Amino acid sequence: VDVTLTTAGTAQNLINLVGLDDPTVNIATNPSFETGDPPTGYTATGAALTQSSAVTARNGSFSMLVNPANAATGEGAYWTSPALGGPGDANSQLYLVASAFFRDAAGSGDDVRIAIRDTSNTLLVAGQTLDLTTTFARSFASYPLTPTPTIYRVFFETAVQHNTNFHVDSFQ
């Protein structure tokens, strides 16, 4: 540390930690889809789920393969959060921030996204829509937590109706 004290021989703060971002915490269980076939902790909605091979993993040994039924928009899978609440103070708002990486095997260009919904499946916020390619791309969404603890569902879903299988990995 190379600092000249304002007053020699007097204690002084050398760094102010106020205002620095808090670290993120991944509360998602099985975020790399390493456990179970279909992956443990995820619920299918209008799609079939399987644990994919190591060839299609971004992190770890597996990813989740989603096979939409091609009947509607929003087909895929979701993870259910524990009850989450914020402090109720406008100066220290907390957010549920969710992200995942998506790809397909053929570069179809079909659309997928991450989305945050309530337990009635009402859309609260949708992440950016991605055109599926043969390389992983990230979609993320954030939603402000209310003071009352609430359970949320984080969806990995088709953004338009299609029947293209897609992979999801690195969920946080």
For 105-129, write each residue's pLDDT tens digit. 889 999 999 999 999 999 999 999 9
Which pLDDT belongs to residue 166? 97
Which pLDDT belongs to residue 8? 75
Which pLDDT belongs to residue 169? 97
Q: Which of 116, 122, 119, 108 is nearest to 140 (CA)?
A: 116
Residue listed under structure tokens 């949320």: 152
Q: % helix / strand / coil in the chain, to the nearest 5?
A: 5, 35, 60
Return d(Cα 147, Cα 94) in angstroms, integer. Answer: 10
Which pLDDT belongs to residue 129? 97
Return d(Cα 32, Cα 144) in angstroms, integer. Answer: 25
Which pLDDT belongs to residue 56? 83
Low-confidence ranges of the chain (pLDDT < 70): 1-3, 13-23
Which pLDDT belongs to residue 111? 97
Which pLDDT belongs to residue 165? 96
Which pLDDT belongs to residue 18? 56
CA angle 68, 71, 74 (to 5 degrees): 60
Which pLDDT belongs to residue 53? 79
Return d(Cα 68, Cα 164) in angstroms, integer. Answer: 7
Chain CA centroid to CA 108, Å: 22
